[in-house]
Structure 1
Amino acid sequence: MGNCVSCKIEIHNNSKVYFLQPVDKSFIWGRMSDQTASLEPVFSGRKSIRGVQGRSDSISGVEGSFTFDVIHEIHKVDVARIKLNFDVPYDNNVYTRKATSEINHVCNNNHIQISTTTTWGGYGFSQNTISFSISTSDDQKIKDEVKKYVERQPKKRDEF
């Protein structure tokens, strides 16, 4: 039996009118804990916690990503796709650990915003935390442009 590193990943949806629909999860190293294996939508004002851990049969860290479509809750229109990346190698060098994000906007380059905070501990289950906070721009011009885009799109049916 080897040693592994684990990480808690918090996804905060601080937007007012969008939900995050899971598209994909990818693991280069590690796996999701059983408690958080199902990817459910993250509605506005909610938080989702994912547990990721290295393989217990070897010295292992965790590396991978979660991908979400950002969808308007009322009109069911996609406005962006986001990818939340994490890399927590099996070592105590916090400078090799990282959390990044990617945003592919459909209607505006600055509407969806992601901020990231990290707490790096060591090995084990609760000492490493990555917190991704998804929000929207406060710029009224951008809000108006996105609103026009959303209202022009055909409304999708409720898929869940």
Structure 2
Amino acid sequence: MKNKKIKILGVTSAIMMAMGSLSFAASSNAFINANPNITAYNTAYNFTYTQNSGNKDEDLKVIAADPYWSVIKPFDTDVTAKTIDWTIIDGSTNALTKLDGQEPIGGASYTNYDGTTYEGYAAYAKAEVDTTKTPGVAVAEATNDAGGYMDFTFVVNAASKQNMSNINVRAYD
């Protein structure tokens, strides 16, 4: 009976250690592990244009949010902010012609709902939209290695009424 209890304790301990190691495998950055989500910082996250209205440059900035989205704060260091990856989502219209990560912005601050003010860095990218290209939707995404993400949507509306047949719908998760 005693051996059975020891075996059960050993198996339980092994399972707990394996699960614990998986939870830390996503990121080696302690700040990102503690604040895995990402949210927009002092910028819009939806942009709408009319076709042929010229080229548009948009600044995209993100900061960290905790697992429950209850605390939002800037990244603790510029090194942490640099770990954010910026990508254009497959299937986006070709109007989003460029997305470049830039140096993080220092001096970012956020005052939480409870009055606490956090100071630090915001991850930053520049997006270029060419409204002469195909009308439709493009999505730029900021991600971290803990699975957090923030999507920025760019919509180029056609300058004239469009044929409403053969419409394809895509949903992104």
TM-score, normalised on structure 2?
A: 0.32
Higher fraction of helix = 2
Higher fraction of strand = 1
Structure with greater Cα Rg: 2
TM-score, normalised on structure 1?
A: 0.34
